[in-house]
Structure 1
């Protein structure tokens, strides 16, 4: 199968060169690497072109998590498209090989990889990666919804691989969405009877040491997402997963670094308050939402 790698970019000259070099050293080579750049004003485009990537340029205000990736897929010649973010560095040379291997099975149409940390990650972020991206893999299908709830649809375009034919058949990503376009495509696949795979052997170094304000803003956007896609919540409440997360986090930090428990509680308060406000965003003026949101482009468009 032919493989296209897709990377949306904006001002990432510090990471894009290393990312593309690591992709070119893979045991399984990509047939093409497509960079979709949103008017970077640094050397991102220059570096990408120098490393042999095909660059598609769009206006910054045109960027959207769904439509921008759809545009790249429309210009891709691969049977399989691999999505990466600009700050996700392949851990080793087996990333493409491992992330595409499950797609050799007819009923598995998508796969996502494991996000790991390096020595710069703070303790709460170390826990976040281990909670969401464990060492054990799983194949998720309709049968898992009762057990996993909304977590059955968990999927990440930080590092994912999707069969292009089935991607187009289910209607691609939503054109306008604040975030979680990956969760939407995963839910489409699973509810259509397909399977998706979590592949822990496919590893990228990726995390964010967000401040409390950044956590609030990110989770405001998550609340907006669920407010505008309420149908997903019929399969399980996001709050239930949040309570489980907090309990496991405190247990983890008690064993590893007790001094971070107070910070973790503040962080979770920031997350939850942002999420709840996002759920009620329809009652807020646009000017307020612009200040509360991490994805300002969504409101400007």
Structure 2
């Protein structure tokens, strides 16, 4: 289906000390075959010149206090100032692989009237280790897929998978379904995609739209990341019934172990075991965070500054299930 040339894209990038590679990201966005109408950088008081780099590249900068950041609320605040009918959320450490990222995302997003969001394939950086590379390949295969409610028996919670590392949303649906949860530690993209699917919309994985993105997490960083994952899942228990289908995490570990054995990289086995254990323990503790001392939860978290916002939020704040048809 030809893309409507009138679609206007607002790219939204939350930043904090984005580093020297940020300039390349902004440059590649400007050089897209379908350039965005605007780039909005919402910056959490960076001290490395990130905001000035963005301004020099023609981006609109929204400054916020570092203490005011959270994954959902910060993105919502930027979206409220966006002029486009398409919201393209990216992270500061992702970079378009070629000049057709936005064009391919738009093709996926507007392929039919029922698609609410489309997310890009993530390719590991050249310096990514074997385990990280396999994780990207597992979560972001080379074949595109349209996911909707009828896929839940097969895919379970993976039906809801979507990544704001690079994901485009129809602005109209974004507001219809209540924006991202806020405040939130983790998974704001997954929870919104879940609302889309449960309300009859589709989510598309666009393998043709590619970004370079991967991490070099330590074992402790993996623990903290998965602790936050567990906390966010506990605070959204309506997702739990869909989490029982499939064993994506354990399947990935088995694939990684087989690859280590095939390549005879025996010294990677302790690293793989520690990595898997950190993720499992972190996630299980996160799901049980309400039984832990508050100070310990903050120490375990990768996003310690968000906990103050979580505590100050009303216990009766509307959950993600509040926008259901």
- With the shorter chain as reference, the TM-score category is over 0.9
CA distance in structure 1 between the partners assigned to 2:178 and 2:105 by the alignment: 22
Q: 1:239 to 1:63 in 2, by over 3 A?
A: farther
2:319 alignment counterpart: none
1:32 alignment counterpart: 38
CA distance in structure 1 between the partners assigned to 2:19 and 2:260 by the alignment: 35
1:97 alignment counterpart: 103
| 1:188 positional shift | 0.6
Q: Which residue, out of 70, 73, 78, partners 2:79?
A: 73
1:53 alignment counterpart: 59
| 1:245 positional shift | 2.0
Residue by residue, what CA displacement relative to the aligned partner does 1:196-216 show, whole Å, maximum 9, x if unpaired? 110111111111111111111
Which moves more between the two structures, 44-53 or 281-290? Answer: 281-290
Q: Which residue, out of 268, 274, 293, partners 1:266?
A: 274
SS of residue matched to 2:247: helix
Residue by residue, what CA displacement relative to the aligned partner does 1:241-285 show, whole Å, maximum 9, x if unpaired? 322222222123333453323311211011101111111111112
Tell me if structure 2 keeps the 8 A contact 1:115–1:205: yes
Structure richer in helix, relative to its length: 1
Task: Give matches, 1:83-122, under 5 Å.
Answer: 83-104=89-110, 105-122=112-129
CA distance in structure 2 between the partners assigned to 1:128 and 1:240 by the alignment: 14
Q: Which residue, out of 290, 305, 316, partners 1:297?
A: 305
Task: Give matches, 1:270-285, under 5 Å.
Answer: 270-285=278-293
Task: Give matches, 1:131-142, under 5 Å.
Answer: 131-142=138-149
2:316 alignment counterpart: none
Tell me if structure 2 keeps the 8 A contact 1:13–1:47: no
1:11 alignment counterpart: 17
Q: Does 1:216 align with 2:235?
A: no
SS of residue matched to 2:88: strand
Tell me if structure 2 keeps the 8 A contact 1:286–1:299: no
SS of residue matched to 2:136: helix
CA distance in structure 1 between the partners assigned to 2:159 and 2:269 by the alignment: 28
Over aligned residue pairs, what C-alpha RMSD do you find? 1.3
Q: Which residue, out of 158, 174, 182, partners 1:167?
A: 174
CA distance in structure 2 between the partners assigned to 1:160 and 1:115 by the alignment: 11
CA distance in structure 2 between the partners assigned to 1:257 and 1:264 by the alignment: 14
Task: Give matches, 1:143-292, under 5 Å.
Answer: 143-237=150-244, 240-256=247-263, 258-259=265-266, 260-292=268-300
Tell me if structure 2 keeps the 8 A contact 1:127–1:252: no
SS of residue matched to 1:258: coil
Q: Which residue, out of 117, 126, 129, partners 2:136?
A: 129
CA distance in structure 2 between the partners assigned to 1:232 and 1:255 by the alignment: 37
Tell me if structure 1 keeps the 8 A contact 2:234–2:287: yes
Unaligned runs of 5+ in 1: none
How many residues align? The count is 301
Tell me if structure 1 keeps the 8 A contact 2:155–2:246: no
Which moves more between the two structures, 33-42 or 101-110? Answer: 101-110
CA distance in structure 2 between the partners assigned to 1:239 and 1:279 by the alignment: 19
